[in-house]
Amino acid sequence: MLSDGASVTHGQGDAIRRASDRALMSRLLRRGASGAFLVSVGGTALGLLANLVMARLIGRAEYGIYALMFSWVSVLTMVAQAGQDISIIRFLPSYIQDKAWGKVLGLRVGVGLFVLATSICVAIVGCAVVHSLGARHSASWRDTFYIGFATLPILTQLQQSSAMHRAFKRPVITGIYSSVMRPVVLLVLLGIAAVILVRRDAPMAAVCVAIAALMSLMASGWHLTRAWPAEGRGASPCYETSRWVAVGGQLSLLSIIIVGGAKLDVMLLGAIMGTADVGPYYAAVKMAGFAFFASQAVNVVLAPMIAERYDAGDMQGLQSVAVYGARIALTGALAVALFCAAAGRWVLGLFGHGFDTAYVPLLILALGYCISTCFGEVGFMLSMTKYQKQASFFVLIGIAANCIAAVLLVPRLGATGAAIGASLSLVIWRGLAWRFVTTRLGVEPSIFGSIERKGADPR
C-alpha cells in the first residue's frame, strides 16, 4: 500500500513538473518572441526601406537585375550551407544541456570551416557560369552577378553566426546583426553612394550589399565570442563530423528546396518575361514578406524548443508551443494583409514609376501567406524531429505546382501569374506537411490545435 501511495505521489509530482515546464516554455516563447518580434518588424521595415531607396536610386531596370541576382544568390547560399545552419540549431541545445562544451566548440569551428570551403567552391562555379553566359547579357548584368557570387561566402558565415546565437536562445541578438544592422549599414552606404558616385546601377548596389553583410558578420562574430559561456571557454574542441555531415546533408536538401521554392517565382518571372517585370514584382514580394515577420520572430524561439521537446518525448509540450507560435504568426500575417490592401498601391508607388502595377500580385501573395500560416510552423515540426526527408518531398510537390502554374499563367498574366503560383505552392506543401504532422506525430500544430493535448508518444 505504501508503494502504491508513493507511486501515485510520484506520478502527481511528474504531472506537476510537466505542467510547470509547459508554463515556463509558453512564457519563454512569449517573451522571446516579443523581443524577436520587435527585431523582426524593425529589420523587415529597414530591409523594405533599403530596397525602396535602392530602387529609386538605380531605377526599375537595374533594380530588376539586382533582384534577380539576389534571388539566385539566396538559393545558392543555402546550397553552400549544406544544411549546417540548421544542424547547429538541431544539435547545440542538447550539447549545452549535457554540458558537452567540447562538442559545442567543435560544432562552431568545424562547421564554420566546412561551410566556408563549400561557399567558396559554389562562388567559383557561379562566376564560371556567369563568364560563359556573359555574352548574352549586358555588362551591368555580368558585374552584378560577379559581385553577388563574391558575397556568397560572407552571407553563409553570417547565417552560421546567427544560427549559433539562435541555438543559444538569444532571439533578439539572432536578428540584430543580420536583420537590423545590415539594412542600416546598407542605407548609409546607399546614401553615400548617391552623393559621391555618378554611376548608380545594379553593380553599385551589389557592392553596398556586400560591404553591409561583411560589417554585420564581423559584429556578430565579435558578440558571439564575447558572450561565449565561461564554462566552455577552456574546452578542447570535439568533432562529430560524420554525424553533422550526415544530418546536415538531409537538412540541406530541405533548406535548398524551401528557399528555392520561395525564390522560384522571381526566377521564373525573370526567365519568362525578362528583368523589366522582375523589379516591381520583387518589391511586392518584399512588402508581402511582412506577413511572415511574426512567424520569423516566433521561429527564432520555437525551433530549439521543438528539438528539445521532441528529444524529451514531451509531445504535449511540443503541441503547446506549436499552437502558441501558430496563433501569434497568424495575427501578424492578418495585420500585414490588411495594411497591404489599404496602402499597398501607395507604398509600391514610392519605389518608383511603374511599381504600382504589382498591387494585385501583392494582394495575392499576402492572402497566400495568411492561409499558409494557419497550418503552423510545420517545416520546423518536421526538420527538428526526424522527418526532414518527408518535408523535402512535400516542398518538392509545391515547387512542381509552382512551375506548372508559372508556365501556364505567367505568359498570360505576368506577375499576377507568378504570385498565384507562389501562393499555391506554399499552401499545397504546408497543407500536406500539416496532414503528415497530425497523423504521424500525433500533434496538431495549426491555429485550431488545443494548448493541452492528450495521447501517447507516437514514436
Q: How confident is the model at residue 450 (pLDDT cuts 50, 70, 90)?
A: confident
Query: In whole angstroms, how large is the CA radius of gyration of the chain?
Result: 23
Give every CB contact of residue 427 below 8 A, 6+ residues apart in sequence. 368, 371, 372
Query: Do the Cβ atoms of 433 and 375 come closer than 8 Å?
Result: yes
DSSP string, 59-87: -HHHHHHHHHHHHHHHHHHHHHHTTHHHH
What percent of the chain clears pLDDT 70, i.e. is strictly above it?
79
Look up residue 43 and give its three cell numbers: 529589420
Q: What average pLDDT score do residues 377-397 get?
A: 76
Indicate whether 151 pLDDT > 90: yes
Indicate whether 17 pLDDT > 60: no
DSSP string, 355-406: GGGGHHHHHHHHHHHHHHHTT-SHHHHHHTTT-HHHHHHHHHHHHHHHHHHH
Residues 100-148: tens digit of each pLDDT:
788 888 878 888 888 899 999 999 999 999 998 877 888 899 999 999 9
Q: How confident is the model at residue 78 (pLDDT cuts 50, 70, 90)?
A: confident
Residues 158-199: tens digit of each pLDDT:
988 888 887 777 767 777 888 889 999 999 999 998 888 777
Residues 250-289: tens digit of each pLDDT:
666 666 666 666 677 888 887 777 777 788 888 888 888 8
* pTM exceeds 0.75: no
Per-residue pLDDT, 459: 46
What percent of the chain clears pLDDT 90, i.e. is strictly above it?
21
Per-residue pLDDT, 3: 46
Q: What average pLDDT score do residues 19-31 get?
A: 50
Indicate whether 245 pLDDT > 80: no
Mean confidence (pLDDT) of the chain:
79
Per-residue pLDDT, 104: 80
Domain ranges of the chain: 21-441
Separation of alpha carbons 196 and 96, rounded Å: 49
| Exposure on the CB side of residue 335, measured as CA atoms within 13 A | 12
Q: How confident is the model at residue 454 (pLDDT cuts 50, 70, 90)?
A: very low
Q: Which of these, 135, 152, 286, lies nearest to 209 by C-alpha position?
A: 152
Q: How confident is the model at residue 10 (pLDDT cuts 50, 70, 90)?
A: very low
Give every CB contact of residue 449 below 8 A, 6+ residues apart in sequence. 319, 322, 323, 326, 376, 443
Residues 40-76: tens digit of each pLDDT:
677 778 888 998 999 989 988 899 899 889 888 988 8
Per-residue pLDDT, 196: 87
Highest mean pLDDT pick, 124-138, 165-179, 204-218, 332-346: 204-218
Indicate whether 13 pLDDT > 50: no
